[in-house]
Copies of this chain bind each other. A is one copy, B any other.
Amino acid sequence: MTLEEALRELDALQKKISAYDHALGLLSYDGLTGAPKGTAANRAQSTGVLSEELYRLQTGPETAELLQCLEESGAALDRKTQRTVYLLGKSIRQMRCIPVEEYVAWQRLLVEADDVWHTAKERSDWPLFAPVLERVFGTVKRFAGYCAPEKDPYDYWLNEFEEGTDRARCDEFFDALHAGIVPLLERVRTKPQPDCTVLRGTFPVEAQERFSRRLMELIGLDLDHVGLATTEHPFTTSLGSHLDERITTHYHTDDFASSMFSVIHEGGHALYDTGSAEELAWTVLDGGVSMGIHESQSRFYENILGRSRAFSAYIFPVAAEYFPSLRDYSAEDFYRAVNRAEPGLIRIEADELTYALHIMVRYALEKRVMAGELAVAELPGEWNRLYKEYLGVDVPDDRSGVLQDSHWSGGAVGYFPSYALGSAYGAQLLRKMRETVDVDACLRRGDFAPINEWLRARIWQHGCLYTPAELFRNAVDEPFDPGAFIAYLTEKYTDLYDL
């Protein structure tokens, strides 16, 4: 095979992989959005078949020959192709470690687990979910053993979600956060809480939907390429390439802010994915490089921008066009209400200050289950105990506790730390961005273009061309420093609570 032929085949292979990913992603997305309730078994059937076809395509002899040829060409390849070959080779080698029957069974299990989780959450029925979750953790652990027998299984998965991360790095990071956040939260709790009545009322879904579209346009999403749907748990996904992105939200008629910040959060993910350079479409370099960097974007838009005083000043009168009850309040009332720091039960509704504590609970639990120190059956009890210990709250039922998130049923063990890492990355990105962009002035006039351009140039356009660490370092011109996040929180909450 000549190099030219190999490059053509590499292009065709990536397009094939993208198409299967598109189909499998769409099957999953459909299951979470429009599909009737009783169709999971039918979806599992098709998911199983297509996963197997994708598995055989990627692990077959033709692909092996192609990769060998490209790996041998090494230095003759440009940087983009080198990175492509590296990432593709890595993922194919991992896939080869997993027997095909187990790989297919895993894909089918995830369809079933999602289905069972929805019902279990609705009914707050942990015993219904426990046996499925048992199989999820069992498979996750077994696959880590297949792919990296030399590694601790939880370290393996942490590294899958954020290259370069392991328990040691997470422990250190969370210790630093804990040390910074807990004393700050204690000081906050000595102060009176802001009045939150601005957030109370009845907010029709239809008005919230129109407001969602307005927000999406405002933050700079191209609605010709980014769709919106409603689901139990908000999420973002690319279908086939960054040219078709979907975000979802969940409307509560007694709380417009919940969906508002979900839309901005998922919108941040979508900005990142759709910001990939045009030519990366249908390649393995397309879209976000890691979940940590992904969450750095989503949480940047949701919190650092979305929950800022400057943006509140702009968006509050806009929101009042959709929700007339807001007209009795000021933008400052709104700003204070959406930044009320108070330990609660639900991660996705947590304020910036307590949010990382929710993550620490999940991290502690995952680590112990993966190490075999905690049985899946013990998760609800330990969840509730840790919520009391870290956040001081009593969990009334599993729906508001261990069943609240969709990650484990989606097979994503080791994902949660990405949220906290992302929050910390974001604060450092802000510090750097402020050197050249007057962020507050942009937000006060609802102009996201300069902010988006900064992030597009430094983060989005590169897709997966760099490792997360390289990408981040290039973006901020210094190593990762969680201190920026603590400093950001301290400044923000000192002002808000007059500490």
Contacts and interface: CB of A to CB of B under 8 A. Distances in A.
Interface of A: 15-16, 18-20, 22-23, 26-27, 30, 33-39, 41-43, 45-46, 48-50, 53, 206, 222-227, 229, 239-241, 243-246, 281-282
Nearest to A229: B34
Contact of A45 (B39, B206, B241): B241
B46 A18 contact: yes
24 contacts: A18-B45, A18-B46, A18-B49, A19-B45, A22-B42, A22-B46, A23-B46, A26-B27, A26-B30, A34-B34, A34-B227, A36-B225, A36-B245, A38-B224, A39-B225, A39-B243, A39-B244, A42-B243, A42-B244, A43-B240, A43-B244, A45-B240, A45-B241, A45-B282
A264 to B, nearest CB: 18
Nearest to A22: B46
Contacts of A50: 19-20, 23
Contact of A42 (B20, B27, B240): B240
Contacts of A243: 38-39, 41-42
Contacts of A245: 36
Nearest to A54: B53
A49 B35 CA distance: 24
Contacts of A227: 34-36
A205 to B, nearest CB: 9
Contacts of A206: 206
A79 to B, nearest CB: 25
Given A23-B23, A26-B27, A206-B206, A16 B225 contact: no
B42 A239 contact: yes
A47 to B, nearest CB: 8
A18 B44 CA distance: 12
A46 to B, nearest CB: 4
Nearest to A23: B23
A151 to B, nearest CB: 34
A244 B37 CA distance: 10
Given A35-B244, A45-B240, A45-B282, 10 more contacts: A16-B49, A22-B46, A26-B27, A30-B30, A33-B34, A35-B227, A37-B223, A42-B239, A42-B240, A206-B206
Contacts of A45: 15, 18-19, 240-241, 282
Contacts of A38: 222, 224-225, 243
A42 B229 contact: no
A49 B244 contact: no
A251 B239 CA distance: 28
A367 B418 CA distance: 61
A229 to B, nearest CB: 6
A38 B223 CA distance: 8
Give the residue among A19, A33, A43, A243 with the most B Cβ atoms within 10 A. A19
Contacts of A42: 22, 239-241, 243-244, 281
Nearest to A222: B38
